[in-house]
Chains A and B, each alone.
Chain A
Amino acid sequence: KISEDVEKLELDPLIKHPLQNRWCLWFFKNDKSKDWADNLRQITSFDTVEDFWAVYNHIQSAGKLASGCDYNLFKDDIKPMWEDERNKTGGRWLASFDKRGGKGIDVDKLWLETVLCLIGEGFDEESDVVNGCVVNVRGKGNKLSVWIGDYKRDEVVLKIGRRFKERLGLPPRFQIAFEAHQDTIVKRGSSAKSRFTI
Chain B
Amino acid sequence: DDQWSPLNQEGKKQYDRTFLLQFQPDCTSKPQGLPDIPDIVLEKADVRPHL
Q: Which residues of A contact B (CB under 8 A)?
A: 6, 9-10, 12-13, 15, 17-20, 27, 29, 41-44, 46, 49-61, 65-66, 69, 108-109, 112-113, 116-117, 119-122, 124, 167
Nearest to B38 among chain A residues (CB) is A60
Closest to A20 in B: B13
Within the complex, the shortest CB–CB distance from A194 to chain B, in Å, comes to: 27
**Number of chain B residues close to chain A: CB under 8 A:** 35
- In the complex, the answer to whether B7 meets A57 with C-beta atoms within 8 Å is no
Q: Tell which of A58, A124, A167 touches B41, judged by Cβ atoms closer than 8 Å.
A: A58
Residues of B within 8 A of A (CB): 4-7, 12-17, 19-21, 23-24, 26-31, 33-35, 37, 39-42, 45-48, 50-51
CA distance A179 to B29 in the complex (A): 39
**Roughly how many angstroms separate A144 CA and B1 CA in the complex, as a whole number?**
31
